[in-house]
């Protein structure tokens, strides 16, 4: 499939800021499931700094904006060709060992309810891959998708107790459950073309990857009860949503900040 992306993130400030610096993880991952035909990342009025590929294989760019500034807009546009690898992250180069993702962070710390969920889900598994699928299915069943039910700092335990959440919560809960079951697991940020019939739409998305010995990293989208296929574009990963955030930054000055995001993903003719 050939997917097109248009993504704008605008930060507005109540008073002029002295400047801003940003770290962007907005370049598609390099692996056998996707190839970028065109891809551009720009910060309006910004100065591009250095870039590097980190140990997880993600491209990170630095940008700065000189003040006084009251608005900063990050724009992403491009076209990418995708293939359905049934969730397998084949051909992805990274130097961080899978064992680094065995340790929980604050959002993915399992409580008694998550431990019980994971143990019950994994009890009837025939092998490691089946166990990972059962964990994803259990999280999907336990947390209903409901936009606005949670916030950016909601933990996996809180989302499970609430029984509602968004893709971030599904990913955190699956990572926590995977840790209970003995798997290394991590958070993935990206885009999703969710409905070919509906055309382009807002589609910033997140899912989890679980390390299965003999197969490597396998993606599981517990929010949609599937593995990532050719509708998905992978950007980057981390132990949780904060580590995998596509945009991290700091603005210097007295103003308060507001945020506006618009994401559209469409499908082009092959």
Give the model's confidence band at 232: pLDDT under 50 very low, under 70 low, under 90 confident, else very high.
very high
Size of the chain in residues = 270
Contact 245, 189 (CB under 8 A): yes
Distances (CA, A) of 89 to 9, 92, 114, 131: 28, 6, 26, 18
Please give the pLDDT value at position 270: 53
Q: Which two tokens stand for residue 188?
A: 């993935």
Share of the chain above pLDDT 70, in %: 96
Which CATH code is given to the segment(s) 2-81+247-268? 2.60.40.2250
| Domains 2-81+247-268 and 86-238 alike in fold | no
What is the arrangement of strands in the sheet containing 185-192, beginning at the earlier edge strand? 216-220, 204-212, 185-192, 232-238
- CB < 8 Å & 24+ apart, contacts of 147-155: 152/241, 153/107, 154/107, 155/106, 155/107, 155/108, 155/109
Confidence at residue 194, expressed as pLDDT on a 0 to 100 scale: 80
Question: Percent of the chain, pLDDT > 90?
Answer: 94
Select from 3.10.620.30, 3.30.70.370, 3.40.50.2300, 3.10.20.70 the CATH code of 86-238.
Answer: 3.10.620.30
Q: Mean pLDDT, to the nearest integer, of 41-70?
A: 96
CB atoms within 10 A of CB 43: 21
| 3-state DSSP assignment of residue 244 | coil
When pLDDT is cut at 50, 70 and 90, the band that residue 269 belongs to is low
Residue with tokens 């994971």: 118
Mean pLDDT score across all residues of the chain: 94
- Decide: 19 and 64 in contact? Cβ < 8 Å: yes
Q: Look up residue 105 and give its two tokens.
A: 């962070």
The phi and psi torsions of 253 (rounded to 5 degrees) equal 150, 180
Task: Please state the domain extents for the chain.
Answer: 2-81+247-268, 86-238
Give the largest Cα separation in the chain, rounded.
Answer: 60
């Amino acid at each position: 499939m050939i997917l097109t992306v248009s993504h704008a993130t605008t930060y507005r400030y109540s008073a002029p800021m002295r400047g801003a610096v940003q770290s962007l993880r907005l370049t598609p991952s390099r692996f056998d499931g996707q190839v970028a035909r065109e891809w551009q990342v720009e910060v309006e009025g910004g100065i591009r700094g250095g870039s590097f590929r980190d140990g997880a294989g993600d491209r990170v760019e630095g940008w700065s904006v000189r003040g006084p500034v009251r608005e900063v807009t990050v724009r992403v546009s491009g076209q990418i060709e995708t293939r359905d690898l049934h969730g397998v992250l084949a051909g992805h180069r990274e130097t961080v060992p899978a064992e680094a993702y065995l340790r929980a962070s604050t959002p993915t710390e399992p409580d008694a309810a998550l431990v019980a969920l994971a143990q019950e889900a994994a009890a009837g598994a025939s092998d490691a891959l089946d166990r990972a699928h059962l964990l994803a299915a259990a999280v999907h069943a336990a947390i209903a998708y409901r936009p606005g039910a949670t916030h950016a700092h909601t933990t996996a335990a809180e989302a499970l107790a609430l029984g509602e959440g968004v893709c971030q919560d599904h990913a955190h809960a699956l990572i926590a459950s995977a840790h209970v079951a003995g798997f290394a697991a991590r958070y993935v940020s990206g885009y999703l073309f969710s409905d070919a019939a509906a055309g382009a739409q807002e589609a910033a998305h997140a899912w989890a990857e679980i390390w299965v010995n003999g197969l490597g990293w396998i993606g599981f989208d517990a929010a949609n009860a599937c593995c990532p296929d050719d509708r998905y574009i992978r950007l980057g990963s981390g132990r949780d949503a904060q580590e995998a955030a596509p945009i991290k930054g700091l603005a210097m000055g007295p103003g308060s900040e507001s945020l506006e995001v618009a994401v559209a993903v469409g499908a082009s003719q092959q």
